Amino acid sequence: MDKTRLALIGVGMIGKRHLKAMRDVEEAELAALVDTVPGVSGLAREWSVPFFETTDSMLKEIAPDGVIVCTPTEVHLEPVLQSLDAGAHVLVEKPITASLEEARQIIEKASATRKQVLVGHHRRHYGILHKTKQLLNNGALGQLIAVQGMWTTRKADAYYEPEWRKLRSSGPVLINLIHEIDTLRYLCGEVKSLSAKVSGEVRNHPKEETAALVMELENGVLGTFLLSDVTPSPWTWEHGTGENPGFPKSGQNAYRFVGTKGSLEFPNLRLWKTDGEPDWHHPMIQHDEGLPLEDAYIAQCRHFCRVIQNLEPPRITAEDATRTLAATLAVFDSAEQGKQIEL
């Protein structure tokens, strides 16, 4: 099997996570590291690959098959466009960009260069997401009527020491809620309209701290979601699954899906059905549909290689991720304009 040569651009917190995953992907070969911080050259030596301080110089010298872009969100656009122009396929971290205008530039460039752009909504690579979609689609809950979700935790004060983290572009809506919107879109369908309120008086940063959303999906399903980064609780996807060692596992569920014949807690996949007719007189019985959690970053990297080799269609394209971004940005529009946003 030919190895797919990948360069990593931006070797910070999440870049290192991709690097770790690459060790376990036999289809992948690390070809270069790029970062504006010269200290990253030490890591490049450890991996025996060349180090570059600019994307441009790396592309000229290495000509990789694909690049993984893990720079801060405001710095996604340039390395993505440069890499596409140089003939590389791209996996860019989420959000695809900070604005819809920049996201459209990426979509146009991918189409013009005929290269693939995948976006790092890594949850799409978990078996529990596919199992949930199957349960919802095969009528295990009857007709899906509504969904309720939470992502409520208190980020450590040290996290907010850098000034850029206090800005809206690094607030919990664009950093965290975007994962939830993508999860909801993937599981239940497109968001048709959305209303939101946001607040942020605890730390008094320019960014928001808390958001409450009401959504209607195109298929008529209703949804509510509560997000906050100033409230310790066991109810986030990360605490529930334990996917990230920074969030000690609580095992609690963060979502509830309710249908005409049953309901489902997620991500543990506890299915509740009545013993008999589906009405309130009958006892509810729990069915455990849970699955062990795999490493989504390994699966994502393997998938990226297989997309480059033309063996699989992309699971999340730039267009798809841009719809997730549009629904996420609508939270700010709705809160600022005090009205429901039609998407």
Ligand X SMILES: NC(=O)c1ccc[n+]([C@@H]2O[C@H](COP(=O)([O-])OP(=O)(O)OC[C@H]3O[C@@H](n4cnc5c(N)ncnc54)[C@H](O)[C@@H]3O)[C@@H](O)[C@H]2O)c1
The residue whose two tokens read 């003939």 is 87
User: 263 or 300, CB closer to ligand X?
Assistant: 300
CB of 177 to ligand X, least distance (A): 12
Kindly give the pairing relationship between strand 4-9 and strand 28-34.
parallel
Residue 158 engages ligand X in binding (rule: CB under 6 A): no
Rounded least distance, CB 52 to ligand X, Å: 9
Select the residue interacting with ligand X from 15, 171, 200, 314 (CB under 6 A): 15
Interaction of residue 34 with ligand X, rule CB under 6 A:
yes
- Asked if residues 275 and 283 have their Cβ atoms less than 8 Å apart, the reply is yes
Q: Which residues contact 30 (CB under 8 A, 6 or more apart)?
A: 6, 7, 8, 19, 22, 47, 49
Name residue, tokens 């809950």. Answer: 141
Q: What is the identity of the amino acid at 320? A: D
Cβ distance to ligand X smaller for residue 95 or 223: 95
Name the residue type at position 222.
L
124 binds ligand X (CB under 6 A): no
Smallest gap from residue 174 Cβ to ligand X (A) = 7
Binds ligand X (CB under 6 A): choice among 5, 18, 94, 239: 94
Say whether residue 120 binds ligand X (CB under 6 A).
Answer: yes
Stretch that binds ligand X, among 31-39, 128-136, 205-213, 248-256 (CB under 6 A): 31-39
Q: Provide the residue type at 52 as one letter.
A: F
Number of residues interacting with ligand X: please give it, by CB under 6 A: 22
CA 68, 72, 75, 77 dihedral sign is positive
Least gap, CB of 313 to ligand X (angstroms): 21
Q: How far is the CB of 151 from ligand X (least distance, A)?
A: 12
Question: Is 184 an interacting residue with respect to ligand X (CB under 6 A)?
Answer: no
Q: Is 293 exposed, middle or buried (0-12, 13-18, 19+ CB in 10 A)?
A: middle
x/- string (CB under 6 A) for ligand X, residues 190-219?
A: ------------------------------
The reply to whether 10 sits near ligand X by the rule CB under 6 A is yes
Q: What are phi and psi of 263, to 5 degrees?
A: -145, 160
Helix pair 296-308, 13-22: axis angle to 10 deg? 70
Residue facing ligand X at closest CB distance: 12
CB of 44 or CB of 70, closer to ligand X: 70
First vs last C-alpha separation in the chain = 44
Interface residue with ligand X, options 43, 107, 146, 175 (CB under 6 A): 175
Q: State the Cα–Cα distance between residues 334 and 343, nearest whole angstrom.
A: 11
Choosing from 5, 109, 122, 323, the residue that interacts with ligand X (CB under 6 A) is 122
Cβ neighbours of 78 (radius 10 Å) = 15
Determine the interface stretch with ligand X among 33-41, 134-142, 245-253, 269-277 (rule: CB under 6 A): 33-41
Specify the residue, 129 or 141, whose C-beta has the smaller distance to ligand X. 129
Tell which one of 4, 73, 236, 253 touches ligand X (CB under 6 A).
73
As measured in angstroms, the least distance from the Cβ of 341 to ligand X is 23
| 42-71 residues near ligand X, rule: CB under 6 A | 55, 70-71
Radius of gyration of the chain (CA): 21
Provide DSSP, 23-82: TT-TTEEEEEEE-SSGGGHHHHHHHT--EESSHHHHHHHH--SEEEE-S-GGGSHHHHHH
Among positions 18, 33, 35, 196, the unique one binding ligand X when judged by CB under 6 A: 35
Question: Which residues contribute to the site for ligand X (CB under 6 A)?
Answer: 9-15, 34-37, 55, 70-73, 75, 93-94, 120, 122, 175
